[in-house]
Amino acid sequence: MDEIRIINQPDYQPSMATAINRRTNFKIENSQLITQHLYTIGKKDYVVNSVFDLGSKHTVIDGVKRLIDNDFDSAA
């Protein structure tokens, strides 16, 4: 597990830093790559999952176009 220290005061003092612990798990299920990022910030736990289709015929350009379209749709 990685530990990252962030500054939480204007004048940095190591004893006042907040620790962020991070762990990443990877697994493949049903032709999908699933990454699970586990974060502990202070005493609170967070989980962030990402799912990637390994058999997808879409290209990076298709993904960028979809993100731009979604951005335009949300702005309207």
Q: Which tens digit of pLDDT belongs to each residue from 51-63? A: 988 888 888 888 8
Residue 50, domain extent: 2-75
- Total structural domains in the chain? 1
SS3 state of residue 54: coil
Q: Which residue has the tokens 């530990």?
A: 3
pTM, entire model: 0.49
Percent of the chain with pLDDT over 90: 24
- Strand ranges (E), the chain: 2-6, 18-29, 32-41, 44-53
Strands 18-29 and 32-41: antiparallel
